[in-house]
Amino acid sequence: MNMDPEIKYLLSLGSIRDRAKLVGEAAQAGTLSHFEVNEDKLGSVAEYVTSVIKRDFGPDKFDTIPPHGRWQHFEVGNVPRVADLIKQWKKDGDDATEVTRRLIDLFFVSVLLDAGAGDHWRFVEPETQQSFERSEGIAVASLYMFKNFAFAANKDRKAPSVDGKGLEQLTTDALAQGFQISNDNPILGLESRANLLRGLGKSLLAQANVFGGEGRPGNVVDYMVKSAGKTTKLDVTVFWDILQTLLIPVWPKDRTTLHGQSIGDAWPLSTLKSHGASTTSESGNHIQPFHKLTQWLAYSLMVPFQRILHMEWTGTSLLTALPEYRNGGLFVDMGVLILRKESLNRGLEASGSDLPMFKAGDDVIVEWRAMTLVLVDELYKLVLERMDGVHLSLAQLLEAGTWKSGREIAAEKRPHTKSSPIIIESDGTVF
């Protein structure tokens, strides 16, 4: 099927940073719609982030920093949950390829459930009785559902897996039960998350050439290994196109459309209207793509290929920071990004509290997310200058630096909620 060239561009990985650079140029010119930028504070952010990295991995453990990905979230509380699973699967006779398929199954559903949970939800782990919140809580909750075959219609396998029919048939009540949802333990966007997984099941079944007749996410392992031929190198752009083809039909129908087609996590931005992008037509030159969950999924799924199958990825420099509230909140909390008064007042009026609030598609949020991409790229260079010759990948910076720093400063400034400095009305599929 021939795709409109502009839509193809906006769905591409390269378009994310391309468009964000234009927003960065607007920031340099002082023509952002909603934020003022204090670049003088960026050095302080670099010092803070570098100090966090050195505190946790210095002086000689920088090479142990994992790439940003879902794997670490399953290990919360220093419990090796994924390692224990792998050990059991190998004991049962699974080879490295099948172990990788199972991890892809698990990571796939867990990442797509990993939009912002809100400030009140908690998951109490049945085996340890430990309580976890936010991303780690969602990871552990999804792991238990996975181990209980909640995402599989085929429950005859010796070990849990995920398949299209199982996801299609997942009820909102089953997800609520698995996530321990109650009036006292609410999560943002429960119905949206359930719809997302049901849509994923349908889309997996429609992509049998990659995911097989049963629509198993893990079957992408076989497809990618075959695409590598006789080498051990995997192409990020090939993987990206597979993920986008799978996910674009799954996102909510009220997302941005262009020429009648959904373009996922890509949003109109007023700043781009006045700072036009160069594309094949005029109609989409004001749209800023992010594709945050697709990138989070790509980052996360790449790791099992590396750790279990010992394969390498090419083209990783195209991946960007994740434009979400931890990375973005870091720059707001440390005074690099300051909301202009009119936008701040509108957000405060919407929230009725001391923190501004906006819907996920609001122009304020879109501009904030675009500037997050720009500023992390700038920060990356500044942090490397402070690492005494130690090189970190962007994925390592996100893991050990910006995301963790954003979380820590939020907890320091807002200890009761640990929330973002700007509140997003999440629908369970964006942040």
Closest CA to 414 of 371, 335, 349, 355: 355
402 in a structural domain: yes
430 in a structural domain: no
* 8 A C-beta contact, residue 205 and residue 164: yes
pLDDT reported for residue 425: 84
Token output for 140: 């552990």
Alpha-carbon torsion, ordered 324, 327, 332, 337, to 10 deg: -90
Residue 79 has pLDDT above 80, yes or no: yes
Domain of 233, in residue numbers: 5-425
- Whole-number Å distance between alpha carbons of 33 and 26: 9
Residue 431 has pLDDT above 60, yes or no: no
φ/ψ of residue 374, rounded to 5: -60, -50
383 in a structural domain: yes
Q: How many domains does the chain have?
A: 1
Contacts of 87 (CB under 8 A, 6+ apart): none
pLDDT reported for residue 229: 94
Alpha-carbon torsion, ordered 53, 58, 63, 67, to 10 deg: -20
DSSP 169: T
* pLDDT tens, position by position, 17-52: 999 999 999 999 999 999 999 999 999 999 999 999
- Whole-number Å distance between alpha carbons of 20 and 290: 9
* pLDDT tens, position by position, 214-270: 999 999 999 999 999 999 999 999 999 999 999 999 987 778 889 888 899 999 999
* Cis amide prior to 59 (ω within 30 degrees): yes
- Whole-number Å distance between alpha carbons of 341 and 338: 9
* 8 A C-beta contact, residue 250 and residue 199: yes
138 in a structural domain: yes
* DSSP count for the chain of H helices, then E strands: 19, 12
336 in a structural domain: yes
* pLDDT tens, position by position, 109-130: 999 998 767 778 999 999 999 9
Q: What is the pTM of this model?
A: 0.92
- Whole-number Å distance between alpha carbons of 279 and 7: 10
Q: Which residue has the tokens 């009820």?
A: 171
* pLDDT tens, position by position, 393-423: 999 999 999 999 999 999 999 999 888 999 9
Q: Tell me the mean pLDDT in the region 101-109.
A: 97
- Whole-number Å distance between alpha carbons of 123 and 76: 12
253 in a structural domain: yes
Q: What percent of the chain has pLDDT over 70?
A: 96
State the DSSP string of 195-250: HHHHHHHHHHHH-HHHHTTTT-GGGHHHHHHHHTTTSSEEEHHHHHHHHHHHHGGG
Token output for 394: 């962007």
* 8 A C-beta contact, residue 132 and residue 122: yes
- For the chain, the average pLDDT equals 93
431 in a structural domain: no
64 in a structural domain: yes
**DSSP-derived 3-state class of residue 132:** strand
* pLDDT tens, position by position, 313-330: 999 999 999 998 899 999
- In order of 2, 161, 189, the CA distances from 176 in angstroms are 40, 20, 11
